[in-house]
Amino acid sequence: MALFEDYDDYDALGLAELVRQGEVSAETLVETCIARIEALDPELNAVVHPLYQQARAAAAEDDHRGPFAGVPFLLKDLIQHIAGVPTVSGCRFYKGWVPREDTLLYQRYRDAGLITVAKTATPEFGLQPVTEPDIFGPTCNPWDLSRTSGGSSGGTGAAVAARIAPMGHGGDGGGSIRIPAACCGIFGLKPTRARTPVSPASEAWNGFAIEHVLSVSVRDSAAALDATEGDAPHAPYHAPHHEGTFLAATEQEPKALRIAFHTEPAMPSTPHADCLDAVTEVVRLLEDLGHEVVERPPMHQPELLARAFFTVVAANTAADIREAEQLVGRKATAKDFETATWLSAMMARNFTGEDVVVAIRTLQEETRRLTERYRGFDAVLTPTLGQPPVPHHALRPKGAEAIAQQVIARSGARAALKLPGLLEKTISEVFAFIPYTPVANFTGQPSMNVPLVWNGDGLPIGTMFTGRFGDDATLLSLAGQLERARPWRDRKPPTCA
């Protein structure tokens, strides 16, 4: 079958319109996507489970229904399940496990007309801000193959940036949509908490995590949110109601907005000059567009926030391992997981129940404080990341530090976890890379990476806007304006050349 030569020139909505008009078939689009995977993925290592047979069958049955009818799509190999298709979650322990049912969000993608062609790479349990699981190896950044594509939706980020598909699924518990979007130079929105359904669980990471898409265009993200929003029947809370559609919001020029900006990290970090300069550049752009931009630092307590955030994530990691044991049907050992994952769970077992509750309350109090500090502002601008995309394995412990962690993990000596410096250096290096993104996860606010700046090395440098709780529409309206003012769709990485 002939391939669609102009595939790169369209976003997902554009491809769907061609399908509806009969100018291209869903079968041709799927074959083009498959050809892209076969040509590019040997370098990128973004795909972990090809689903070619299922995708071809779905394309043959395409009825042109849904906003994305006949459009190739990528599903992150974490949380969302396809019945009969393995879900590995970047983890050796899950190898061979196959879910029996589709999850709700995946059903909504399918109902929107999207055809899932492959599942994409993620770090183990989505814990790391880089995608380099032991079981599959590192996913490469299409702008520089020696560097990370980010995480935890790094497989999707790399594949979308390389135009394997115009849009793909991701999840964001500490920045995991926005981080790879920033690393790969694409658009990534983390919606308001509970805007899209979290399933099969009732919530992930105590409400920090929510799932959506990474996309080449802003309007694709908005239309995907229109197609998938709405809580699950078992949801413990709901996102605020909004008027109109998110797609319409992207087409409307926003009123003159009042936007705060700062570069103060929420987690311990010394941000790179490229990330600071990007904010300065975007401030000028916003002022040129008629917005009021005011510098207003948040006055965080970085060490306190980092400790509280890690406590909640570690406790959830321990729970994830216990639930994995129930699904797989056997007891897990240290050899079944990466050292960092196992040590996080061990740390959690040293916590008391009150430690975890106090950590959650600490983050809730910071949410209340930030709400007051930024009252009267429509959005807050910061860098997305603390550094440009880092080289592969830059965040992994090395030498004696790595050996000590491995020995303790294998021995199960929980008392040794209290040794000074055992995990602090590793944790601090991770937060140094992502000192901004976790804030919107514990506050629940919508937050987006907008790809407006590239540095002197040709690497994308993300800038991030965080909006008021429930006000995804204003962010998407602003994103649409920024995309029109400084288009990025035709800026393609060398891997696409």
Catalytic residues: 76, 152, 176
- Give Cα 15 to chain centroid, integer Å: 24
475, 444 contact by CB (below 8 A): no
Measured CA to CA, the distance from residue 250 to residue 192 in angstroms comes to 17
119, 46 contact by CB (below 8 A): no
402-410 LR contacts (CB < 8 Å, sep 24+): 402/339, 405/339, 405/340, 405/343, 406/339, 408/343, 408/346, 409/334, 409/339, 409/342, 409/343, 409/346, 410/334, 410/335
DSSP secondary-structure letter at 212?
E
Measured CA to CA, the distance from residue 387 to residue 445 in angstroms comes to 23
148, 390 contact by CB (below 8 A): yes
Measured CA to CA, the distance from residue 4 to residue 6 in angstroms comes to 6
- Cα dihedral value 281, 284, 290, 292, nearest 10: 100
439, 465 contact by CB (below 8 A): no
Measured CA to CA, the distance from residue 399 to residue 48 in angstroms comes to 29
Measured CA to CA, the distance from residue 243 to residue 260 in angstroms comes to 25
Whether the ω angle into residue 200 lies within 30 degrees of 0, i.e. cis, is yes
